[in-house]
């Protein structure tokens, strides 16, 4: 029994038109209704945020952006800001996803600025951390992951960081069908919580949700969510169909009720 409410979040990445996004959001909202024992969030592409926000009105499903700039406005062609995300109804924002770090030059310093910026607009940051296969094989998993966690939270205190969500996503498990073994995920999650405790205090770290991401599917969700420090999931591929995502939500409910 944990006091942390499980969180199941779908990262739709670069998929779905507005109509497809609304249809998927609507099927998920119908399942979640006005609330379950676990929290549920969906993360459509930026062009669907406004429409999905309308679809989700009156449901307990939260809305997440997949990225943001840290500035509120200005000469930043192509960017979105925390002000605009809040304006369109986003409750959450994924920050520092490995695909952004890998393909779009996102740095730890940028992640830290984005975390502070979204928190200032009462948008919950879902901060992604994770090691590559090469780093894992070199025994550097904890160095990399704990370094990313430390950088993302630097300069912010436990009060400001109260809503923080961390997502541990080993890069080698993303979209590959290779999931971390539940006990390996638990080891990293426990280490993340331990580092958070050292940085900002144990009562705060005990309240922070740490999600696992990387090939989560209906068949492995219960096993992962049975681990004491795995407080939910950040789901890519399996969040793109209600038939796959809803059973993962139900695994989150089982964790909440266990
Ligand atoms: P997959 O679930 O497709 O492996 O993606 C995980 C992920 O990157 C979620 O942010």
The whole-model pTM stands at 0.97
The ligand 1 atom at the shortest distance from the C-alpha of residue 98 is 8
List per-block mean pLDDT (blocks of 10 residues) for the chain, which spans 258 residues: 88 98 98 96 98 97 98 98 98 98 97 98 98 95 98 97 98 89 97 98 97 97 98 98 98 96
* pLDDT of the residue at 178: 86
What is the distance between the alpha carbons of residues 75 and 234, in angstroms, rounded to a whole number?
32
pLDDT at position 2, please?
61
- Domains, the chain, ranges and CATH? 7-257 (3.20.20.70)
Strand ranges (E), the chain: 7-11, 39-43, 62-65, 92-95, 124-129, 165-168, 209-213, 232-235
Q: Is 174 in the pocket of ligand 1 (CB under 6 A)?
A: yes
Q: What is the pLDDT of residue 55?
A: 98
Residue 213 Cβ inside 6 Å of ligand 1? The answer reads yes
Angle at alpha carbon of residue 49, lines to 43 and 52, rounded to 5°: 85
């Amino acid at each position: 029994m944990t006091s942390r409410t499980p969180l199941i979040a779908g990262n739709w990445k670069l998929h779905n038109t507005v109509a497809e996004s609304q249809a998927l959001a609507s099927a998920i909202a119908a399942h979640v209704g006005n609330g379950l024992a676990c929290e549920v969030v969906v993360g459509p592409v930026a062009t669907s945020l406004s429409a999905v926000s309308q679809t989700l009105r009156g449901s307990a499903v939260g809305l997440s952006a997949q990225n943001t700039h840290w500035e509120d406005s200005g000469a930043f062609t192509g960017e979105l800001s925390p002000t605009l995300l809040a304006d369109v109804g986003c409750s959450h924002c994924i920050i520092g996803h490995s695909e952004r770090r890998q393909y779009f030059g996102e740095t730890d310093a940028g992640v830290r600025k984005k975390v502070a910026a979204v928190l200032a607009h009462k948008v919950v940051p879902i901060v992604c951390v994770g090691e590559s296969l090469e780093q894992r094989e070199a025994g550097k998993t904890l160095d990399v992951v704990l370094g990313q966690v430390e950088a993302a939270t630097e300069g912010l205190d436990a009060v400001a960081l109260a809503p923080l969500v961390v997502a541990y996503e080993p890069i080698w498990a993303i979209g590959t069908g290779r999931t971390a073994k539940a006990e390996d995920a638990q080891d990293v999650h426990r280490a993340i919580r331990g580092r958070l405790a050292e940085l900002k205090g144990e009562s705060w770290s005990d309240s922070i949700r740490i999600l696992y991401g990387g090939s989560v599917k209906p068949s492995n969700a219960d096993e992962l969510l049975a681990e004491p420090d795995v407080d939910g999931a950040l789901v890519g591929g399996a969040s793109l169909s209600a038939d796959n995502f809803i059973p993962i939500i139900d695994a989150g409910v089982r964790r909440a009720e266990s």
